[in-house]
Amino acid sequence: MIELSAAPAPPTPRSSREPMIPRDAARRSRFWFRLISPAISSASFVLLGSFLTLSHGQAPVVPPDAAGAANVGGGDLLRTTPFDRITLYDGSVLVVEPISPRPLPPYDKSKDRFVESKRLKSQRELLIRVGEVDQLPNDAKSGGSKDAKGEKSKAPDDDLDPNNAIAVHLLQAQGQNDIRDFKVRRALIRSVEYFEDLLVEESNRLARARQFGPAFECLLSVKSRQPDWPGLQEAANQLLFAEGSAALIDGDFERGVRLLRELLERKKDHPGLINQLADAYSQRVGRALELGLYARGRAILHQLEEIAPKHEKLLSAQDHFVSEARRRLDASKDQTGAQKLESLTEALRIWPELSEAKSEYERAFADVPTLDVGVIDVPNTLGPWVHSSADERITRLLYRPLLEADHLDAFQGKPDQQLAAKIETTDLGRRLVIHLKPEIRWSDSSRSVAAIDVARTLIDRTDPNSPRYQARWADLLDRVGTVDEHRVEVQFQRIPLHVGAWFTGPIGPAHASEDGRITTANRERIWVTNGAFRVVASSPELLDLRSNHASGEATSQGIPPRIRRIREIRIPDGPRATSALLRGDISLLSKVPATLVPGLSNQPDIKLGKYDRPSLHQIALDGRNFVLRNRNLKRGLSYAIDRKGILESRILKRASDEENYVADGPLPGGSYANAPDVPPFEYNPALAQMLLAAARKELGASPISLKLEYPDRPDVQLVVPLIVESFRVVGERSGFKIEPVPRRESELENELRSGRPFDLAYRVTSSSDAIADLEKLLSPALNVPSDKDPLGSVSSPRILQLLLELERASEFPTAKALAIQIDRESRSELPILPLWQLEEFYAWRTRLNGPKPNTDRLYQGVEGWEIRPWFARDPWMADKD
Amino acid sequence: MRIFITASILFVFAWETALAEPAATPSTPASDTNQPKTVSPLPIEQQPYRIEVHATVDPEARLDSSKIREIFSRWEILVQRFVGAPWVLKIQTDRSALTAQSLDDFTPELFNGLGAEFDKIWILRIGIDSDGDGLLLTGREYDVATRRLGPIQRRMSAVDVELPRTLLAFSIDLFNPVAVISGEEGGRALLTVRGASVAPASPLGAVVQPGTIFVPLRVTTARDGSPRILTIPYTYLKVETIEGAVARCEFVKGISDPLSKRWSRPYSFAAVGIKPSASPLRLRFVSRKEKDEIPVAGYILTVREVPDGNPREVGLTDRSGRIAVKPQYAKSLVVVRLIAGSAEPLFEAPMMPGDSDAERKILVQLLPLAVALETKLDSLRDQIVDLVALRSRLESRMKARLDGEDWKGLEETIKEFRALTPRDVMAEKLKSLQDEAARQQAQNKQPVLTRTSKARLDELQALIDRYLDDDGVNAYAEAATLGKADAIEIEKAKSKRRGAVVGSKPAIPAASSPSAPATTSAPQLQAKPAAKEPANSATATPKALPAPKAAQPAPKAVPAPSPRPAPKSNVPF
C-alpha cells in the first residue's frame, strides 16, 4: 500500500516531458469549478493541482462532458456522466465517480481515531492508492518522505477500517499508469456533494427560473438513480406547487389544477396548497357561471368540496350558484307559459338541487311540453318553400302538403296531415282535380285553407320572380284554376311521371306575402301556417316553434299534440352537440357524427335512430364558370382526392363497410337507378398532376384560382382541409389554387339553389327517389329562372341533355333507363365530383317517447311524441340519494 | 289547266318587269322627287330606288316642326351629296296608318296598297333613348317588289345637331338593294343589281359593294295562281366581285342545291340585300317524336363568322328548345351550329344576325345513339390518354434506371408497366364499340356512325396504334436481361480473379493483360446509383431510347434496343 501525502506542498515546476494537466482539460476544469462551486477559491484549485502534480504528475480531471456543464442548465447536468464531489479538510476537491454506499453511513470519529492510532501511516497521508504496491506515483517519489517509502511494504492497504475510509474512482486517469482508484479516510473528508444533490439543487434553480420541464427531468433522473434519496420528495412537491401555481397564473386552469391535485395526493398539508386550489377553483367556478356552463361549474365546485369541504371560497361559490338559481326562480313567479318554463329550467340547470324549483318546473313543463333539439343548422329564411335540408326538416311542421307522399293512399286522402281529400286524374294524368279538406285553418285564424291558396302556390312556382319558382314545374304546368272553394283544377302540358311528387311541397297562404308572412297591427311580421306548429321566433342560432293547437283546439284525431313546443338550437360542432345531449340540455340530436355513434349507443339514457336515406357527399361544379367545363380539369380534381383514405381515416376512423363507402356516382348505392359495374373513383395524384397541367395549357396557361365553399358541418369540416391539401399538392406546379370558404349549411344551400354562381361547393344531399332527385343531385341551380343561366350550371352538356330528356319522360321504364344512363355516364362526364355515402344517425334521450329506430324524416310522427319533465342532476348528488 | 299555267307565267314575267319597271330619271332633282314621273322603261341596273320615307318624331324628343324640317332638309342634302342618283327620296312626315303601329308589329300585309309608285318604303322613328340621353333612330324597310320587310335597325344620335348625319348613316343601314339572279357560273351566282349602273355621288352611295349579302328568293305562284315569293332557306349570296351591274356572288349555304331547278311551277330567282341588325336572333329547335314536337333542350349553339371564323358558344337551348342570341354577337354572316353531346352537330346553317325579329322554328333530327356512342368514345379516350400518360411516366423512369444501370429497378418498373391495361384490351373495347354501333345502325335504321363518330373512332384507333405499342418496353426488357447477365458475368470474372490472387498465383496487371476484358468493365460492376427520375416527369416526353451503357462495352455483342419512333413524343401532356 502506498500512502501519499496530500498536505499542501509547494508547487513544483511541471516537467516538460510530463505535462501534468492538459491545457484544455485544465481550462475546462477551472471553468467548471468556477461555476459549480464559487466557494472554492482559485487558490484551492491551484493547491489541488499542485498536490496532484506533486503526487502523480496528474490532476483530478473533470470529465470532458461534465466540465463546465453543471451550471449551464439542467439539461447539461442531465447529460453529464454522474459524479460526486469530495471536499477535503485541506480544501482539496476531488471529482470522482459516484461513491458507494450512497449516502455514506454515519461516521464515528472516536472509533476511527482509535483504529487509526494503532495503524502505521505516513505523516502526510491523504489519499491511498489501491493496489500496485510496487509502483509509486511521481509525487510520492519526489515529495514523499523516505519513511513513507520505507513503510509502504509494511503498511498494506487492507488495514484501513472500511467504515472509516471510502474507495473513490477519479473520473480521469492520472499519470502514466492511469491511476484512478484511491481510498480516502473519512476523517479527512470535510464534505461530499452527491450527484443527486446537485440534480436536486439544479431542479430548484430551474423551477425558480420557471423552466419546469427540465427541472422535472432533473428530479426524474434522481428518482431513477436513487428513488429514496433524501430531499427528493420535498423537491418534487415544491416543483409541483411552483408549476401548478404558475399554470394558474398563466390561465391554464386544467394543468394548474391537475398539478396541484397531484400535490394534494402526495402531501395534503403542503403549505398554501389548499388556499391556492380554493382560489383557482372558485375563480373557475365563477367563470363557468358567467359563461352559462353550469354543469361544468358545479363539477368544479364538487371537486373543490372534496378538497376543502368547509373552505370559505367553496361556500361563497356555492352561495353564488344558489343565489343565481334563486334569482331565476323568483323571476319565473311573474312569468307564464314558455317564459316561465325557461326561467325554471335555467334555475334548475344552474342548481338542480333547488328543491322549491322542482315542483314549479314540473307544473310549468306540463303546460308547455318542450322538446329541445340540437341541429347542425336552422333554416336560413323560413317560408313555404324547401331550399335546404333544414327547410326539408321544418316545413312539414309548419305547412301541410297537398299530398303526404306520392302514393295511392295519399291520392285517396287517407293521411291526416295532408290538405287533399282526394285527387281525381283524367286525360291520362294530364288533368287533375284536387279536392281539399275543409276543416284545416290557417294559424292566424283568418280562414280555412281554400282552393285559392293552392292555386296561388302552384302559380307562384311558375313565376320567375317568386322565391318559390321551380323551372321544371313552370315547364310542365299548363294552367291552374279554382273550380270552387275547395276544388282546384290543374292542367299539365304533358303527362308527368310521378305526378304526386309535385304536390308534396308546402302550401302557403294566399292572403300573405310570398314568404308566407303577414303584418300585424303592431307592425310585426308573423308567419301564417297551416301545419301542426307555428313559428314564434327565428334567429340564426335558434328556432322556436309552438303548437298550433295550444289553445285547446283539437287535431283531426281529437288529440292535442303532446309536444307543444319545439326549440331547435344550432350546434354545428359534433362533440359539443353530443355533450349537450348527454348533459340533457337537449333531448333530441338531429345528426350524430359517425365517430360518436358507438359511444352514444352505450349510454343508458340515450337511444339511437337511423335515417332511411344515406347522406351523399359530393363536390358540385358550376358549369357557368368555363374553367369547370374543362374535362381534364374535372378529371384531374377527381383523381386528386383520396376518397377511401379520407373516409376511413377522418370520418369513420375504421374501415368502410356496406353502409359507408366511396361513391361511384351521384346516386346512392342501393338506388334502383344506380348503374351496376361502375368502378369507384381512383386516387392517382400523378395522373391528377398531369391532367391539371394539361387543363391549364388548354385554358390559356393562366393560373386557375377557385373557391371551395363548404358547410360548417362537423363531418365536412373534418375532410375539407384534406381535400384542399390534395388539390394544392397536385395543382402546385400548374398554378392551381383553391380557397376554402366555410359557410352556414342552410345559407349556402339556399344560395346555391337560388342560382348564385359558385365554383366548387361541398354538398351533403340525400335522395329518396332517383328519378325525382337526380336533377337536384347533379346541379343545385338547375331549377332557377332562366336569367341565371340554370342550364349552364351543369358542367357537362351531355348530362344536361339527358337530364332534360329525363324531365320529359312520362313512362317509368324510359325514365329509369335514362337515370341509369346518367349515373353511368356521370362517371366519365363528371358533372359533380362524388365523394362517399354515409349512413346517418339521430339520437334522443329516453325522456322523449316517440321517435322510431328508423325514419325518413326527423320529426316523423312528432304529433304523437311524449316528453317527460326532466332535468339533469349531478351524478354525485344522485348517488347521495 | 293551261290557263292556270299561263297565268303563272304571266305573274313571274310581271314580277321581273316590276323590278324593271319605269322609274324616275336618275337626274331628277330632289325637289322634284315628290312627284315622280313615269318615263321610258330602263334596264333594271339603271333604275334608281324610289323611296318613300314615313318619318315620325316622338314629342319627347323635343324637336319642333321647324327644327324637324331643317333636319330632314339637311339630311336630304347629305343624301344628295353622298348617295346621289341611286336614291330618290320622298319624305312623308304626316301621320298615317304606318306611323301608328309599333315596328315590331309590322307585317308585309300592312303595306298592301301602298307604294305603287315607290320601290321601297322606310318607316323611320326619331325618339329618345331610354338608356341614355341621346336620340334614338329606329326604322324598318319594306321592299315593294319582294314584299319583304327588313329587320329593325337602330342608331343613336347624341345631339340633335348630329341628327342629319346620323340619319344618313341610318338610311344606309336601312337600305337593301334588290337584284335578279341572272344565272350561275362556276359555282357562283350572277346578280344583276338594280341601280348598279347608276353612278353614286360617292363610294358611300354605291348600291352594291364586295361583301354585300343577298338573300335569294324564289318567285313563283301558288296552285291558285296567286303570287308567292319564297325565301330560299339557309342560303345567302355574298358579293365577291362586281363587273358593271353584275355582281358575282359566293354561295353561303346550309342546303345542298339552293337554286334548284326541280320546281313544279314556273319560277324565277331574285335577291334582296340584308344587313345585320340590333335584333336578337330567336331560334327554336324541335324534333319530332311520332306526332309530338319535342323541344331540343340543353343543346349548345355555336356561331362562327363566315368564311373561317373560330366557333364560339353563344348559349344553350332552354327547356322549350329556344335560344335568343344576343344582338350584335356578330357583324356579318355567321354559321350557326347546334351541337349534341360535346361534338355531334345536329344543325348547321348560315344566318344573318338580326335577320328577323320573329322566332324561327327549326326541326332537327336527334341522334341519341350516335351521341351515346360518342360519349362512350370520350370515356374510352380518357382511359387511353390516362394510360398513355402513365406509360410515358414509367418509360421516363425506365430510361432513368437504364442510364443508371439499375437493373433491379428497371425490372421492377417494367413489371409495373406490364401491370397496366394492355393495348389489346383498349383495342378490343374500341372494336366492340364500333361493332355495336354498326349493329345498332343496321337494326334501328338510325344514323349511329355519323361523320363525327367515325372521326372519333379513327382518332382513337390512331391513338392506340401510335402510343400503345410495346416496342419500347420490350427493348427495355431485353436491355435489362442482357445488362443483368453482363453484370453477373463480370462479377464472376472478378471473383475468379480474386480467387486466383488468393491462390498465390502471380497477379497479372489487369491493364497489361490482353485477355482480361473484364478489367475494362470492372469499374462498372459497382452499379451507379439509379439516376433520379426527372423532376418534371409529369410533363416529360418519352425520347428515343439509347443503347444500354453496360451492353455497349460488354464482351458479347449486345443489340441495342431499337429506339422508339420520334413522333411518339407528342403525348398529349
Measured CA to CA in angstroms, residue B247 lies from A19, B85, B208, B341 at distances of 120, 19, 8, 41
**Residues of chain B contacting A801 with CB distance shorter than 8 Å:** 297-299, 340-341, 371
Give chain B positions within 8 Å (CB) of A797: 298-300, 316, 339, 341-342
Strands A704-711 and A760-765: parallel
Specify whether the CB–CB gap between A813 and A833 falls below 8 A. Answer: no
* Strand partners of residue B239: B249
- Categorize the per-residue pLDDT at A574 as very low, low, confident or very high, splitting at 50, 70 and 90: confident
Query: How do the domains of chain A map onto residue ranges?
Result: 28-193, 272-368, 400-530, 616-838
pLDDT for residue B432: 95
Question: Chain-wide mean pLDDT for chain A?
Answer: 83
Contact indicator for A818, A848 with CB cutoff of 8 Å: no
Question: Does the pLDDT at position B2 exceed 60?
Answer: no
Residue A773, chain B, CB below 8 Å: the answer is: no
pLDDT digits (tens, 9 = 90+) for A77-92: 888 888 898 888 888 8
pLDDT at B500: 63
Shortest Cα–Cα distance, B326 to chain A (Å): 13
Cell numbers of A73, please?
Answer: 442548465
* Cβ-based burial of A287 (10 A; exposed 0-12, middle 13-18, buried ≥19): middle
Contacts of B375 in chain A (CB under 8 A): 798, 825, 828-829
Residues of chain A with C-beta less than 8 angstroms from the C-beta of B379:
825, 827-828
Interface test mutation site (partner B, options A697, A804, A821, A827, max chain B beta carbons within 10 A): A804
Cell 344552474 sits at which residue? A350
Residue A805, Cα to own-chain centre: how many angstroms?
47
- Spatial CB neighbours of B32, under 8 Å, sequence gap ≥ 6: none
* Residue A30: per-residue pLDDT: 37
CB spacing of A694 vs B386 below 8 angstroms: no
Chain B residues touching chain A at CB-CB below 8 Å = 294, 297-300, 315-316, 318-320, 339-342, 371-372, 375, 378-379, 382, 386, 389-390, 393, 536, 538-539, 572-573
Over the range A190-216, which residues count as b (16 or more CB within 10 Å of their CB) and which as e?
eebbbbbbbbbbbbbbbbeeebbebbb
Give the three cell numbers for residue B78: 347629305
pLDDT of residue A677: 84
The Cα–Cα gap between A492 and A430 comes to 5
B316–A791 CB contact, under 8 Å: yes
pLDDT band of residue B269 (cuts 50, 70, 90) is: very high
Q: Which helix (H) or strand (E) holds B388?
A: helix B368-403
Tell whether the model's pLDDT for residue B276 goes beyond 50.
Answer: yes
Distance from CA of B133 to the nearest CA of A (A): 27
Q: What is the pLDDT, as a whole number, of residue B172?
A: 92
Which residues neighbour B403 within 8 Å (Cβ) at sequence distance 6 or greater? B531, B546, B549
| Bond prior to A103 in cis (omega within 30° of 0) | yes
Q: pLDDT band for position A67 (50/70/90)? A: very low
Minimum CA–CA partner of B390 in chain A: A687
pLDDT given at position A20: 34
Decide which of 1.25.40, 1.10.10, 1.10.3470, 1.10.1200 is the CATH code for A272-368: 1.25.40
Report whether pLDDT(A612) > 70.
yes
Q: Is pLDDT above 60 for A245?
A: yes
Nearest residue, CB atoms, B538 vs list A631, A689, A800:
A689
Question: Are residues B372 and A821, on separate chains, in Cβ contact within 8 Å?
Answer: yes
- The dihedral built from the CA positions of residue A407, A410, A411 and A412, taken in this order, carries a sign that is positive
Rg (CA), chain B: 38
- The DSSP call for residue A648 is I
Separation of alpha carbons B437 and B457, rounded Å: 11
**Cell of residue A726, nine digits:** 390534395
**Nearest beta carbon to residue A733 from set B300, B319, B538:** B538
The cell 518522505 sits on which residue? Answer: A145
pLDDT value at B557 more than 60: no
Write down the CATH superfamily of domain A400-530: Periplasmic binding protein-like II (3.40.190.10)
A493 and chain B in contact, CB less than 8 A: no
Q: How many CB atoms lie within 10 A of CB B255?
A: 12
Interchain contact, A693 vs B538, CB within 8 Å: yes
A residues 452-471 near B, CB within 8 Å?
471
The answer to whether A791 contacts B318, with C-beta atoms less than 8 Å apart, is: yes
Alpha-carbon Rg for chain A in angstroms: 43
Query: Which residue matches cell numbers 462498372?
Result: B524
Cβ-based neighbours of B415, under 8 Å, separated by 6 or more: none
Contact B296, B375 (CB under 8 A): no
> What average pLDDT is seen over chain B?
79
Q: Is residue A763 scored above 50 in pLDDT?
A: yes
Q: Span B159-175, mean pLDDT?
A: 90
Distance CA(B337)–CA(B302), nearest Å, equals 5
**pLDDT (0 to 100) of residue B355:** 80
Give me the residues of A, 613-632, that contact B with CB < 8 A: 631
Would you call A804 and B319 a contact, using CB atoms and an 8 Å cutoff? yes
| pLDDT at residue A125 in the model | 57
**DSSP characters over A433-491:** EEEEPSS-B-TTSS-B--HHHHHHHHHHTT-TTSTT--HHHHHHEEEEEEEETTEEEEE
Task: State how far the Cα of A800 lies from the Cα of A829, in Å rounded to an integer.
Answer: 10
Instruction: Write the CA distances from A864 to A82, A372, A849, B49, B209, integer angstroms.
Output: 77, 16, 9, 87, 84
* Closest chain A residue to B371, measured at CA: A798
Tens of pLDDT, residues B328-345: 777 888 999 999 988 899
Say what the pLDDT of residue B327 is.
Answer: 76
Distance from CA of A630 to the nearest CA of B (A): 11
Q: Kindly list the distances between the CA atom of residue B76 and the CA atoms of A356, B46, B85, in Å, as whole numbers in the listed order.
A: 102, 21, 12
In whole angstroms, give the CA distance from residue B387 to residue B468. Answer: 8
Q: Does the distance separating the beta carbons of A807 and B319 come in below 8 Å?
A: yes
Question: Closest Cα partner for B179 from B279, B249, B108?
Answer: B249
Q: Which residue of A has its CA nearest to B322?
A: A786
In chain B, residues with a C-beta closer than 8 Å to the C-beta of A631 are 378, 382
C-alpha cell at B418: 406490364
Cα gap A374→A529, rounded to integer Å: 23
Residue among A639, A677, A690, A774 with most chain B CBs within 10 A, to mutate: A690
Answer yes or no: are the C-beta atoms of A495 and A430 closer than 8 Å.
yes
Class of domain A616-838: alpha beta
* pLDDT tens profile B483-524: 888 888 888 888 877 766 555 444 444 333 333 333 333 333
Render pLDDT for A316-361 as a digit per residue (tens, 0 to 9).
Answer: 988 988 998 999 999 988 888 888 998 998 899 899 888 888 888 8
Query: Is a pLDDT exceeding 70 seen at residue A667?
Result: yes
Q: Which residues pair with A350 in a beta bridge?
A: none
Nearest to B360 by CA among B286, B469, B444: B286
**pLDDT of the residue at A511:** 93
B135-143/B120-128 β-pairing: antiparallel
Number of residues written out for chain A: 881
Contact B393 A686 (CB under 8 A): yes
- Chain-chain contact of A829 with B538 (C-beta, under 8 angstroms): no
- Residue B520 has a pLDDT of 34
Task: Check whether B81 has a pLDDT greater than 90.
Answer: yes
What tens digit of pLDDT does each residue of B413-433 get?
999 999 999 999 999 999 999
Main-chain dihedrals φ then ψ at residue A472, nearest 5 degrees: -65, -40
List, for residues A686-723, the tens digit of each pLDDT value: 999 999 999 999 988 788 999 999 999 989 999 999 99
CA dist., res. A609 & res. A170, Å (int): 75
Give percent of chain B above pLDDT 70.
Answer: 79
CA distance A32 to A393: 76
List, as one string, the DSSP characters of B140-195. EEEETTTTEEPPPEEEEESSGGGHHHHHHHHHHHH---EEEEEEEETTEEEEEETT
Q: Residue A564, exposed/middle/buried by CB under 10 A (0-12, 13-18, 19+)?
A: buried
**Tens digits of residue pLDDT in B436-447:** 999 999 998 888
CB atoms within 10 A of CB A744: 20
Q: What are the backbone angles phi and psi of residue A332, rounded to the nearest 5°? A: -70, -20
Distance CA A729, CA A811 (A): 47
- Per-residue cell: A766: 340525400
Highest mean pLDDT among A56-60, A136-140, A300-304, A488-492: A488-492
pLDDT > 70: percent of chain A? 84
CA angle, A814 then A816 then A822, to 5° = 105
> Which of A573-587, A686-700, A754-768, B555-569 bottoms out in mean pLDDT, i.e. has the lowest?
B555-569
> Rounded to the nearest 10 degrees, what angle do helices A312-332 and A355-367 cross at?
30
Write the pLDDT tens digit of every residue in A81-123. 888 988 888 888 888 889 888 888 888 878 777 777 776 665 5
How many contacts does A have with B, using Cβ atoms within 8 A? 75
Which is it for the CA torsion B271, B275, B278, B282, positive or negative?
A: positive
A612 close to A769: Cβ distance less than 8 angstroms: no
Percent of chain A topping pLDDT 90: 46
Over residues A497-541, the pLDDT tens digits come to 888 999 999 999 999 998 899 998 888 889 999 998 999 999 999
- Please report residues of A whose CB lies closer than 8 A to that of B538: 686, 689-690, 693, 733
Minimal CA–CA distance to B180: which of B165, B166, B202, B195?
A: B195
In this predicted model, which residue has the larger pLDDT, A208 or B36? A208
DSSP B445-461: -S--S-HHHHHHHHHHH
Choosing among B380, B382, B397, B541, which should be mutated to test the A contact, i.e. which has the most A CBs within 10 A? B382
Segment (H or E) for B253? strand B246-253
Contact present, A549 and A555 (Cβ < 8 Å)? yes
Which among B18, B277, B16 is positioned nearest to B144, based on CA atoms?
Answer: B18
Give mean pLDDT, residues B447-455: 92
